[in-house]
């Protein structure tokens, strides 16, 4: 049945082969090999992830633009039915996606000296929707000062006042529009619905520990604890593919190809003219009269630039890759969020542990398939918060995600008992890494070196993360549920012991970024300018999380979608949106932490 459905979908008429519909001039039927013809588009977008889906959707709003979107992974549905790929579209099934190489690049880092030599697993989306089809659906924008910092770091025009309108443009929040929330965008955002007693107890405990509650951590006040926004709509994951790509697929000026592996950008001198890719076992070339746009993410975009001859000239020459442009910043400035899980046994049978039993899984799955309701309709990361780690810190630098369950080894090991946990980590770490090509073979994963916990500041900050979490967990509101501490464990107290725990257990929050840094041409580390154009060449852009000058204080999906919305206006020559003098909360004093 599966093979038949796949064959039906792959064999269905494409946008240029609908009976009675003519192809625009210069575009040949996909897969044809007629002599003297070639695939010609105005724009070729590489990567149908969070940014690429936005670009495909927004650029094809202009009927004069002809866009080819290439994705190395599969489509996120077959035969138009989300039920056939329930693991992607059921919010509660997110852990299954993190371990499934059908939709996942399954990257790994180099051994990390700061983490006892451990190799860390980095899941990244390889499917329509990219990592927005795999992630935990947490919608977090970061703090206003992150974007003001970008502006100071050379990304002119990317301050908060110029980014907020694009967050709003993208969003349709179920609570309605205001000066911070959007109400008419394609990206549906909702609040948690379960109101689980452990979520309520966690928020009460945070308040008892002296932290404020915030009505909207993506609005006026990020600092504090509250209910989190999620990219879930009517009980289903609302990925960038759902929001932007699927509504655009019927347009005659969009061609979207899945399982199309791009191996290099084609150049004529310094000008990008197209890409080379493999599809259905054959090599193809597609040409762009206007621009090639890379939206492969913080790993794939710098990798493809280097494979195409853009990067450190010495490194490229050492691999036998002809140098198109010496741009040493490519692959440098790698930044990620690290986090640890503080876990507590629960004395009442109310966690998600029982949901792991086979009969409960079947029941949850059937309820979701029937009406997109029940425990399958949420990712369960419904509360969280942001705090300042110590006096003098101007805006929050620690993030919490609360989960009424426990996660072990990226979910590859089932929960062991009734327990709850907090994912806690620093938002603006000072450890910076890099990635480089492993070989000239496009199929080889690059060398990924995050350099986690390579600075004393980061080590000290993680001690604070553990101690501040314990303080919240010790409050009266959680007393009815509090069992023994499972992780780090009641025997771990000294700085040395906490440091050892962090080295042994810290893991990526899956937020790689900044490897094609946006900045001014005078910045030797910059890769793209504030218009997202790759420096030193023509007709080539990068639009994805890799162009962040520095990582934001929060999850990356919402900022990446915002960046693509803003870049789409830049590409189309539209005037930049601007919200002047938007109020943002500031602490009354920096002399205290809370």
Summarize the confidence of residues 531-549 as an average pLDDT. Answer: 98
| The pLDDT value given to residue 23 | 32
CA distances in angstroms from 340 to 221, 407, 423, 462, listed in the order given: 25, 11, 6, 8
Lowest mean pLDDT segment, chosen from 246-260, 408-422, 485-499 = 408-422
Summarize the confidence of residues 12-28 as an average pLDDT. Answer: 30
**Rounded CA separation 319/150 (Å):** 34
Query: What is the pLDDT confidence band of residue 477, given thresholds at 50, 70 and 90?
Result: very high
Q: What is the CATH number of domain 105-121+138-173+191-228+335-508?
A: 3.30.560.10
Taking only the tens place, the pLDDT of each residue in 121-150 is: 999 999 999 999 999 999 999 999 999 999
Residue 29 has pLDDT above 50, yes or no: no
| The pLDDT value given to residue 194 | 83
- In 163-207, the DSSP E strands lie at 171-173, 187-191
Report helix, strand or coil for 197: helix
Mean pLDDT of the chain: 91
**Rounded CA separation 126/105 (Å):** 6
State the DSSP string of 134-156. Answer: TS--EE----HHHHHHHHHTT-T
Lowest mean pLDDT segment, chosen from 180-189, 329-338, 349-358 = 349-358
Residue 13 has pLDDT above 80, yes or no: no
Closest of 73, 532, 72 to residue 304, by C-alpha: 72
Q: Phi/psi at 286 (nearest 5 deg)?
A: -125, 140
| The pLDDT value given to residue 19 | 27
Query: What is the pLDDT confidence band of residue 39, given thresholds at 50, 70 and 90?
Result: confident
Residue 48 near residue 256, CB atoms below 8 Å: yes
Closest of 142, 100, 89, 151 to residue 124, by C-alpha: 100
DSSP, res 125: B
**Rounded CA separation 503/258 (Å):** 39
**Rounded CA separation 95/235 (Å):** 17
| The pLDDT value given to residue 38 | 66
Residue 110 has pLDDT above 60, yes or no: yes
Active-site positions read: 511
**Rounded CA separation 510/135 (Å):** 9
**Rounded CA separation 142/554 (Å):** 5
Max CA distance (Å), the chain: 76
Residues 479-513 as b or e (16 or more Cβ within 10 Å = b): eebbeebbbbeeebeeeeebbebbbebbbbbbbbb
Residue 204 has pLDDT above 60, yes or no: yes
Residue 399 near residue 375, CB atoms below 8 Å: no
**Rounded CA separation 403/356 (Å):** 15
Residue 422 has pLDDT above 50, yes or no: yes
Query: What is the pLDDT confidence band of residue 292, given thresholds at 50, 70 and 90?
Result: very high
Summarize the confidence of residues 328-334 as an average pLDDT. Answer: 98
**Rounded CA separation 570/576 (Å):** 7
Taking only the tens place, the pLDDT of each residue in 558-592 is: 999 999 999 999 999 999 999 999 999 999 999 99
| The pLDDT value given to residue 82 | 55
Q: What is the pTM of this model?
A: 0.93
Query: Where are the chain's structural domains?
Result: 44-104+122-137+174-190+229-331+511-573, 105-121+138-173+191-228+335-508
CATH architecture assignment, domain 44-104+122-137+174-190+229-331+511-573: 3-Layer(bba) Sandwich (3.50)
- Count the alpha carbons within 13 Å of 545 in the hemisphere toward its beta carbon: 28
**Rounded CA separation 1/490 (Å):** 53
**Rounded CA separation 188/239 (Å):** 9
| The pLDDT value given to residue 501 | 98
Residue 2 has pLDDT above 70, yes or no: no
| The pLDDT value given to residue 83 | 56
| The pLDDT value given to residue 85 | 78
Closest of 500, 506, 339 to residue 426, by C-alpha: 339
Residues 439-474 as b or e (16 or more Cβ within 10 Å = b): eeebeebbebbbbbbbeeebbebbbbbbebbbebbe
| The pLDDT value given to residue 409 | 80
Closest of 182, 155, 164, 191 to residue 584, by C-alpha: 164
Summarize the confidence of residues 251-257 as an average pLDDT. Answer: 98
164: left (phi over 0), alpha (psi -120 to 50) or beta: alpha
Summarize the confidence of residues 335-347 as an average pLDDT. Answer: 98
Omega within 30 of 0 (cis) for the link into 488: yes
Residue 254 near residue 232, CB atoms below 8 Å: no
Closest of 338, 339, 343 to residue 488, by C-alpha: 343
Residue 101 has pLDDT above 90, yes or no: no
Taking only the tens place, the pLDDT of each residue in 348-399 is: 999 999 888 888 888 988 999 899 999 999 999 999 999 999 999 999 999 9
| The pLDDT value given to residue 21 | 30
**Rounded CA separation 254/53 (Å):** 11
């Amino acid at each position: 049945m599966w093979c038949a459905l796949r064959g039906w979908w792959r064999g269905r008429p494409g946008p240029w082969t609908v009976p009675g519909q003519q192809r625009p001039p210069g575009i040949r039927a996909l897969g044809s090999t007629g002599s003297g013809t070639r695939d010609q588009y105005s724009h070729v977008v590489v990567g149908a992830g969070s940014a690429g889906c936005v670009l495909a959707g927004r650029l094809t709003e202009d009927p004069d633009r002809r866009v080819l979107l290439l994705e190395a992974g599969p489509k996120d549905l077959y035969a138009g039915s989300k039920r056939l790929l329930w693991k992607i579209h059921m919010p509660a099934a997110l852990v299954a996606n993190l371990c499934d190489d059908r939709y996942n690049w399954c990257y790994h880092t180099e051994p990390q000296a700061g983490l006892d030599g451990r190799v860390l697993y980095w899941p990244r989306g390889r499917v329509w929707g990219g990592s927005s089809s795999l992630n935990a659906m947490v919608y977090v924008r970061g703090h206003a000062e992150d974007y003001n910092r970008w502006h100071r770091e050379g990304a002119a025009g990317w301050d908060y006042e110029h980014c907020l309108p694009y967050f709003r443009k993208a969003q349709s929040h179920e609570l309605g529009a205001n000066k911070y929330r959007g109400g008419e965008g394609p990206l549906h955002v909702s609040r948690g619905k379960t109101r689980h007693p452990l979520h309520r107890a966690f928020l009460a405990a945070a308040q008892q520990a002296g932290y404020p509650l915030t009505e909207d951590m993506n609005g006026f006040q990020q600092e504090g604890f509250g209910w989190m926004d999620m990219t879930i709509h009517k009980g289903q994951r609302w990925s960038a593919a759902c929001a932007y790509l699927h509504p655009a697929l019927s347009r005659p000026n969009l061609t979207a190809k899945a399982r199309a592996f791009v191996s290099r950008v084609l150049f004529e001198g310094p000008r990008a003219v197209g890409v080379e890719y493999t599809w259905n076992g054959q090599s193809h070339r597609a040409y762009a009269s206007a621009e090639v746009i890379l939206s492969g993410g913080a790993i794939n975009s710098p990798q493809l630039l280097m494979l195409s001859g853009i990067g450190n000239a010495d490194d490229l020459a050492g691999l036998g890759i002809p140098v198109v442009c010496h741009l040493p910043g490519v692959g440098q400035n790698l930044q990620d969020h690290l986090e640890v899980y503080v876990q507590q046994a629960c004395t009442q049978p109310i966690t998600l542990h029982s949901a792991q039993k086979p009969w409960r899984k079947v029941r949850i799955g059937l309820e979701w398939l029937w009406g997109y309701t029940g425990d399958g309709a949420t990712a369960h990361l419904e509360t969280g918060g942001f705090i300042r780690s110590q006096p003098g810190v101007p805006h929050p630098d620690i993030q919490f995600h609360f989960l009424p369950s426990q996660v072990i080894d990226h979910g590859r090991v089932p929960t062991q008992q009734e327990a709850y946990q907090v994912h806690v980590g620093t938002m603006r770490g000072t450890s910076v890494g890099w990635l480089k090509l492993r070989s000239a073979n496009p199929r080889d994963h690059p060398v990924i070196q995050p350099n986690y916990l390579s600075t004393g500041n980061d080590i000290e900050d993680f001690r604070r993360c553990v101690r501040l979490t314990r303080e919240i967990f010790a409050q009266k509101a959680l007393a009815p549920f509090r069992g023994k501490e499972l992780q780090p464990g009641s025997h771990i107290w000294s700085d040395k012991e906490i440091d050892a725990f962090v080295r042994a257990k810290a893991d990526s929050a899956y937020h790689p970024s900044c490897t094609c840094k946006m900045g001014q041409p005078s910045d030797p580390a910059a890769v793209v300018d504030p218009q997202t154009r790759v420096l030193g060449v023509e007709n080539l852009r990068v639009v994805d999380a890799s162009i962040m000058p520095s990582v934001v204080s929060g999850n990356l999906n919402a900022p990446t979608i915002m960046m693509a919305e803003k870049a789409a206006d830049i590409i189309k020559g539209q005037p930049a949106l601007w919200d002047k003098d938007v109020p943002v909360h500031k602490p009354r004093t920096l002399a205290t932490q809370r």
